[in-house]
């Protein structure tokens, strides 16, 4: 089982800092880094050019345990919302060992 975290550009801003991503990686999260060092060569999606990553996964934890750990590491709040039209800032989904979606934070009661 694993939990996948995805950052969302809400209100025109990504809310994870480079330090947040590096701290996640240092504590066991697998960060899906963009290739290369030069972030200006990301293609036509200019709004992504300043981001090191948008997703990370944490193996071995269930959804809420992973979210609690993520909050402790980043100092961010799972339910922060910048903009109601752009969606949530942070998304978490739990998958089973076969990579089948089990549940999502926003679908939980």
The span from the CA of 58 to the CA of 64, in Å, is: 12
Q: In this structure, what token pair is assigned to residue 22? A: 């590096």
Q: Is the pLDDT of residue 12 over 80?
A: no
Name the least confident of 47-56, 64-73, 75-84: 47-56
Q: Is the pLDDT of residue 2 over 90?
A: yes
Could you tell me the strand order of the sheet in which 101-104 lies?
30-33, 53-59, 2-7, 90-95, 101-104
Q: What average pLDDT does the structure give for the chain?
A: 81
The pLDDT assigned to 76 comes to 92
The pTM assigned to this predicted structure is 0.78
The span from the CA of 75 to the CA of 40, in Å, is: 28
Lookup result for tokens 């750990």:
69
């Amino acid at each position: 089982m694993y939990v996948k975290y995805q950052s969302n550009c809400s209100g025109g801003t990504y809310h994870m800092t480079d330090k947040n991503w590096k701290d996640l990686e240092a504590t066991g999260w697998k960060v899906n880094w963009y290739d290369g060092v030069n972030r200006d060569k990301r293609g036509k999606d200019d709004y992504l050019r300043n981001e090191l990553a948008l997703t990370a996964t944490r193996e071995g934890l269930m959804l809420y345990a992973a979210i609690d750990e993520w909050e402790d590491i980043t100092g961010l709040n799972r339910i922060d919302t910048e903009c109601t039209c752009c969606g949530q800032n942070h998304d978490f989904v739990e998958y089973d060992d076969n990579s089948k979606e089990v549940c999502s934070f926003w679908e939980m009661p």
